[in-house]
Chains A and B, each alone.
Chain A
């Protein structure tokens, strides 16, 4: 009976030490890995946070191609003028595999060339593999005739 309790005591002491060792090793590993993981995780991309005004160059492209892709807060935004000459803005990143979409004025659709995905002018999927609609943004003509894109979804 005595030796049995002795054994159990030894056993619990042993497993306690094992647990301590395991915790120590895990802690050590975590303290090594944590900085590395943080180091590898990129910071959120910098850039203008408010509404973005299109540059002269971009306006020219918008005029010529009827669409232009502009960087807003680290995102690619498609700005285009629809058949009724209204300015619109959509996230340019295809929801399928992330290709950059384009506006096809002739068919009045947003087209992704990568796997032939099609969206309507509100960003809703018409055909092809994209699983979700494109988020909408706001593009407005300002007082001086410039174009401003607001990075909030409409």
Chain B
């Protein structure tokens, strides 16, 4: 008789006898969530993202019961779901809301992981699978967007898929395969549908399993320099129960939002009013924008001139986006200090710099400060200055918090990004020119300070 099993009767005993599950429970009971230097709230975000993903699966399957992809059925079936099917509007609203909330919590999760350096060894794979999941989530958003086959989604998809053509050599072929033809047609919708309901979920399950498996195996990352602390909260039941409570709260919030605003908060890139049916032969109209998490790329594309350095502007821009994304994925290997278990103030500042960079572009793409999408330079300049003020305001608050509360002392990179934003938005210089100048100046400062500091390694906060 095994002595490990706390109970031996009932279903548990029956299962335990056959599959030996009590060691698993025992393992979970001993597993601890590190407590320490930073607030616990950051440990819940992954679970929250997972919760919204589960909501996506459930509502997605429910939507599938009525949705019919097709030239004459896609739009009509969504319309039917939203207007005729009892609670159809609610299911659709929850699917849309949960999608946005999932991406939000994913992004916050990613940035908190980044700022707390949880990616440092031995957790590189957790970061990498997490980054993969971020990509998958964007793919879900992009492919799902087209499925209602309405005007806005049609144009946004035309523009969004077009960027694929700038891939060297196989770009055009990739575009054809993605769209199922030269242009976005109903064939594109069929392909996106297959991706949205079969391919992406399969890949996603694989990645989530790996992500969770490595986390279970290694435990959550303790704060830097707290490796020896014995401080911790048992994962089961203490942490799991808190997780459960949080999920309950999330569900309530989700349901309330879906009930109050079934078509979204009407913010730029965050509404899902069905609108008119897609008509491939209608001209595009102003204000065609992707969803909010793509807005920064959308805006960056706008900042590039038609031709640059012998290449087409969009090509250079997308190359830049890919380089940025690639470096983001490789952060665990770039951050040498965190690799050695030391504080790396530079990378903390990188995190904040990236946040300001994305905030400014996203705000600018949302045409903050004007009523309609500007079509002339004067109005664009107003938007730029308005967004610059808001971004600088946010940056001021976060920087003061960092300085006084967290005693951060390294601000070079965030300062560079903010200078860039100020010179563009407030002084009115071209985004790209100031950007290039800022990059060069920062690189010089970094090299010089790196040379002078290489002797005094010990001075870091």
Q: Which residues of A contact B (CB under 8 A)?
A: 40-42, 45, 69-71, 74-76, 92-94, 96-102, 112-116, 125, 129-132
A residues less than 8 Å from B287 (CB atoms): 113
Contact, CB under 8 Å: A100 / B283: yes
Min CB distance B55 to A, Å, is 32
B residues less than 8 Å from A42 (CB atoms): 176-177, 179-181, 187
A residues less than 8 Å from B183 (CB atoms): 74-76, 93, 98
Sampled A-B contacts (30; CB under 8 Å): A41-B177, A42-B177, A69-B282, A69-B283, A70-B281, A71-B280, A92-B283, A94-B284, A96-B306, A97-B162, A98-B158, A99-B155, A99-B159, A100-B158, A100-B280, A100-B284, A101-B283, A112-B284, A113-B286, A113-B288, A114-B284, A115-B301, A116-B375, A129-B305, A129-B306, A129-B313, A130-B306, A131-B307, A131-B313, A132-B306
Contact, CB under 8 Å: A76 / B306: no
Min CB distance B389 to A, Å, is 24
- B111 CB within 8 Å of chain A: no
Contact A98:B375 (CB < 8 A) given known A115-B301, A115-B302: no
Min CB distance A88 to B, Å, is 16
Contact, CB under 8 Å: B182 / A45: yes
Contact, CB under 8 Å: B284 / A113: yes
A98 to B172, CA, bound (A): 13
A96 to B163, CA, bound (A): 9
> How would you classify the secondary structure of chain A's contact residues: helix, strand, loop or mixed?
loop
B residues less than 8 Å from A96 (CB atoms): 306, 314
A125 to B313, CA, bound (A): 14
B residues less than 8 Å from A102 (CB atoms): 283-284
B residues less than 8 Å from A116 (CB atoms): 286, 375
Contact, CB under 8 Å: A40 / B302: no
Contact, CB under 8 Å: A76 / B314: no
A residues less than 8 Å from B177 (CB atoms): 40-42
> Scoring B residues 343 to 363 as 1 if CB is less than 8 Å from chain A, else 0, what string do you get?
000000000000000000000
Contact, CB under 8 Å: B280 / A76: yes
A residues less than 8 Å from B180 (CB atoms): 42
Contact, CB under 8 Å: B181 / A74: yes
Contact, CB under 8 Å: A131 / B187: no
Contact, CB under 8 Å: A41 / B281: no
A residues less than 8 Å from B179 (CB atoms): 42
Which chain A residue lies CB-closest to B177? A40
- B66 CB within 8 Å of chain A: no
A residues less than 8 Å from B181 (CB atoms): 42, 45, 74
Which chain B residue lies CB-closest to A115? B302
A83 to B312, CA, bound (A): 32
Partner among A98, A112, A131 whose Cβ is within 8 Å of the Cβ of B312:
A131
A76 to B304, CA, bound (A): 26
- B285 CB within 8 Å of chain A: yes
Min CB distance A103 to B, Å, is 8
A96 to B183, CA, bound (A): 14
Question: A100-B284, A113-B286, A129-B313 provided; 12 other pairs, C-beta below 8 A?
Answer: A42-B179, A42-B180, A42-B181, A69-B282, A69-B283, A70-B281, A93-B183, A94-B284, A96-B306, A100-B281, A101-B284, A131-B314
